[in-house]
Every structure is written in C-alpha cells, then in structure tokens.
Amino acid sequence: MAESAELILDGKSYSFPVTEGTEHEKAIDIAKLRDQTGYITIDSGYKNTGATKSAITFLDGEEGILRYRGYPIEQLAEQSSFIEVAYLLIYGKLPTTAELQEFSNQITKHTLVHEDVRKIFDGFPSAAHPMAILSSLICALTAFYPESVSPDLNKEEIDLNVIRLMAKLPTIAAWTYKNQMGHPLNYPRNDLDYASNFLYMMFSFPTEKYDIDPRIVSALNKLLILHADHEQNCSTSTVRLVGSANASLYGSVSAGINALWGPLHGGANQEVIEMLEEIQKDGGNTQKWVDKAKDPNDSFRLMGFGHRVYKNFDPRATIIKKAADEVLTALGLEDSPLLKIAKELEQAALTDEYFIKRKLYPNVDFYSGIIYKAIGIPTEMFTVMFALGRLPGWIAQWKEMRENKEPIGRPRQVYTGELERDYVSIEQRS
Ligand code: SDX
C-alpha cells in the first residue's frame, strides 16, 4: 500500500500521499492541503520544503555526496572537461565524441556578442563591480533576442538560446574584467577550447603573444566542473522561479546571477579571500578570528564555512583543497600565506565545539578563491567565476522546469498586518 501522511486538524483526519525519489528521499505531497483543510504550511528559508522534483543533481548533506546525473563529482572533476559536464547536465547524458564536438563547435560559433553590447559596456563606470555588469548584460541579451520571451519555444529554439548563453557569458565575463582594468576588450578566438578562450580573453593584450598555461587550464576546468550545479540552491531556485513565468532564459539567469552575488551565497568566495587577507594583515592570529566567529555579539562569520545542506564536509571543498595544494605547488606558490592561514583556520574550527556542534565545515567557497588568486583572477571576479561555472546548472534546471511544464511559482503567506480600517484624511492624521 502506498505510504501516506496523516494530519489531524480541528479533530479531523486528513491523509496526504508520500512521494519517494530514486535515492529514497521522501516528501509529503501537500498539493491539496489548502483545498482540503484551509491550512497552508510555512517554512522560513524553505529548510524543509521541496520546490520541485528534479533528475539533474543529487546531493546528500549528511554523507557529503554530490552527483551530476548520477556521476560522482570526484570522477567528473578528475576525468571530464567543463564543456562535457555542461552537456551532461543540460542533456542528461555523457556525449559521444561527435555530440561533444558538435556542442563545442556550436558554442564556438556564437562566442561573439552584438557590437551594440560594447556600447552598453561604455556606459558603466570603470569601478562597477563585475557582477553588476554581468547580470545587466546577460539580461540585455533578451533585447537582442526578443523571441526568447515566449511560452512556445520549440526544442531547436531552446537549444539555440542555450548555445548562445553558454557561448556569450564567458565573453561578457572577461569583458567585465577588461572594462574594470581599462584594458582593450579581447575578442574570442575560435581555435581555443572553452577554458583557454576565457583565459585568453581575460589576460591577453593585443600588443603581445599570450601563452596558455595548460596547468591553469586544467585547474580552471576542475573549478568550473565543481561549481556547475548544486540542485535547488538560492540562485538556481531564483532561475526556476523567474523562468516559471515564461521569462526568457537570459532574464532568468540574470536573476540567478544577482542571487549568487549575495555574500551568503556565491559572493562568499570573494568574502573568504578578503577575510584571509584581513587576518594576514592582523598578524595571522587565526584563533582570535575563530573566537570572533563564535561570539554571538559579533556579526563576523567565518566566510566559506557552513552550509544549509552539507552537515558534513562539502565534497567540493575536499577536492578544491587538494587542487589548491597542487596548483600552488606547480606555480611555485606553495608557501602562500593565505593558504597557510586557511589551513590553520580550518584546523582551529574543526576542533572547536562551536563548529562541531553546529556541523560547520568548509564549503565550496573556502579554498576556491586561493586558486583563483594564484591563477591571476582578481578578487572582484571570483563570483563571476562562480557564475561561469554554475551557468550549465542554471540552464539545465530552467530547461527541466520548462520541459516539465511546471506552473508559475507563487508561494502563499500568513498575513500578520493590520485588520480592516477606514482611510483617514491627511488633515486628521497625527
Ligand atoms: C554557497 O545552497 C547551496 O547549495 C549553496 C552553494 C551552491 O553551490 O550553490 O553551496 C554555494 O552558497 C555556499 C555557502 C557560502 N556562504 C558562506 O560561506 C557564508 C558563511 N556561511 C553562512 O552564513 C551559513 O553557514 C550559510 C548561509 C551558508 C548557511 O546558513 P543556514 O543554514 O541558514 O544556517 P544558520 O545561518 O541558521 O546558522 C546556524 C548556526 C547559527 O548559530 P546559532 O544561531 O545556532 O547560535 O550556525 C552559525 C549561525 O550563527 N553559523 C556560523 C556560520 N555559519 C552558520 N557561525 C560562524 N561562521 C559561519 N560561517
């Protein structure tokens, strides 16, 4: 007999079906709760509430498991490429050689952006944060492809917008950096792979030859793979909610970029490096800062620590920590003071009752900035790097939501405001 949940309200019993996923996660389906009982549920921050069913990413916060379409993140990080993982997330399977080549070729053909996009760039102050520019220009793509705002896009039309976005975001992302530095913008090169092309657009100058370092390309591929999706996190839920109104893929992803920018979410990778640099400037007393993080009267939090779902090690943090050692050693930076402080901070926190009791472990953002800094990415670009990595996940989740014809998202509320009262003219107000 199918499992169900019984609810007793005002002396009356109600039964609601239980749904079970392929990994045996269970949920009480309350789709008929309000119709049958007049009640709704409330769950601030959605800590206990599932927004959807999804076949894209599975994570187990207690066991520290993360899989994209069933493939463990550890295997993908070691054996795959970012473009192959993007294909896997978006289309649900590992591509054949021909499929991967076609996907990569299509992306290469669309890396240029309309020249009018450069005019919009010129309107931004050079001090503008790259995430402000990125979210604005990704949304602006809707203006260049207005047909993308439609409930009736067919498969080919959706695929074209997927390719355009995968292809143009790196170009725009690199341009946000060049714009901030006052450097000439670089056009993409069709002879380079995805990660190499991004590094070329970021760091090359028209005045001299730019040599692509394969060690940095390898590190970048790994970092982008590790950020590619993470089920219904804040920014992905934003993309799905905006997309549920039939907003364009560009507008939906632009909303996700803004959510990711938040310091509690993807913005944490920039905060981590700024925190480590502050600790270094303060003399490197890591215990002092661990104590600050524990002090209820101090708003300081150990950035890069804790997670809404992982109550064990974030498996990405484990891989990135190992990669940080490898990359910094390969680049002769193994004595990085920031890496040393990060490891001391981690050790101090992991042996401290406050963090142990609250199950606070390093998350994906704790070590990623150390690698980005080592490969020359400036701090203000760290969250842009997170967005570059998360893009295929956002696309896959938006596409799944549209293919499953999910209804427009519209949560309910419990009203706690004033009861009915009559309007008072301004003369009679005190
Ligand atoms: C990402 O959801 C995802 O999947 C996100 C992400 C993805 O891939 O998309 O994994 C990417 O966003 C990673 C998280 C990056 N953010 C940070 O590193 C910022 C620092 N961490 C936090 O602020 C916090 O841990 C959150 C936001 C990540 C999670 O917050 P929760 O689950 O809402 O937990 P909480 O804020 O209710 O904290 C529970 C307790 C509190 O103490 P008490 O009130 O119980 O005494 O833990 C404490 C918090 O004060 N706490 C911390 C802490 N994080 C939580 N104390 C010190 N330092 C911290 N970092």
Separation between Cα atoms, residue 276 and residue 288, nearest integer Å: 13
Task: Give the CB-side neighbour count of residue 248, counting CA atoms within 13 A.
Answer: 21
* Count of the separate structural domains present in the chain: 1
φ, ψ of residue 172 to 5 degrees: the values are: -65, -40
Whether residue 187 lies inside any domain: the answer is no
**Catalytic annotation present for 365:** yes
Pocket test for ligand 1, best of 60, 308, 353, 383 (most atoms within 8 A of CB): 308
Decide whether any atom of ligand 1 lies within 6 Å of the 293 Cβ. Answer: yes
Closest C-alpha among 107, 81, 110 to residue 94: 81
Whether residue 12 lies inside any domain: the answer is yes
Decide whether any atom of ligand 1 lies within 6 Å of the 311 Cβ. Answer: no
Decide whether any atom of ligand 1 lies within 6 Å of the 364 Cβ. Answer: yes
Say what the pLDDT of residue 30 is: 97
Say what the pLDDT of residue 350 is: 86
pTM assigned to the model: 0.94
Say what the pLDDT of residue 168 is: 98
Say what the pLDDT of residue 341 is: 94
Which atom of ligand 1 sits closest to the CA of residue 227?
A: 8
Whether residue 40 lies inside any domain: the answer is yes
Decide whether any atom of ligand 1 lies within 6 Å of the 302 Cβ. Answer: yes
Decide whether any atom of ligand 1 lies within 6 Å of the 104 Cβ. Answer: no
Say what the pLDDT of residue 224 is: 98
Separation between Cα atoms, residue 192 and residue 197, nearest integer Å: 5
Separation between Cα atoms, residue 276 and residue 191, nearest integer Å: 38
Pocket test for ligand 1, best of 238, 352, 360 (most atoms within 8 A of CB): 360
Separation between Cα atoms, residue 135 and residue 334, nearest integer Å: 35
Whether residue 57 lies inside any domain: the answer is yes
Decide whether any atom of ligand 1 lies within 6 Å of the 349 Cβ. Answer: no
Backbone conformation region of residue 69, classed left if phi is above 0, alpha if psi is from -120 to 50, else beta: left
Separation between Cα atoms, residue 144 and residue 243, nearest integer Å: 18
Which atom of ligand 1 sits closest to the CA of residue 236?
A: 9
> From the CA of 189, how far away is ligand 1's center (Å)?
40
Q: Which two tokens stand for residue 62?
A: 């207690």
Decide whether any atom of ligand 1 lies within 6 Å of the 308 Cβ. Answer: yes
Decide whether any atom of ligand 1 lies within 6 Å of the 316 Cβ. Answer: no
Which atom of ligand 1 sits closest to the CA of residue 305?
A: 60
Say what the pLDDT of residue 1 is: 75
Whether residue 95 lies inside any domain: the answer is no
- Residue ranges in the chain whose pLDDT is less than 70: none
What is the residue with the minimal CA distance to atom 47 of ligand 1? Answer: 358
**Catalytic annotation present for 335:** no
The CATH number of the domain where 21 resides is what?
Answer: 2.20.28
Decide whether any atom of ligand 1 lies within 6 Å of the 292 Cβ. Answer: no
What residue numbers bound the domain in which 38 lies?
4-65
307, 314, 325, 352: which is the annotated catalytic residue?
Answer: 307
Say what the pLDDT of residue 197 is: 98
Q: Are 129 and 113 in contact (CB under 8 A)?
A: no
Separation between Cα atoms, residue 8 and residue 13, nearest integer Å: 4
Kindly tell me the sign of the dihedral angle through the C-alpha atoms of 274, 264, 164, 125: negative
Which atom of ligand 1 sits closest to the CA of residue 265?
A: 12
What is the residue with the minimal CA distance to atom 28 of ligand 1? Answer: 307
Whether residue 394 lies inside any domain: the answer is no
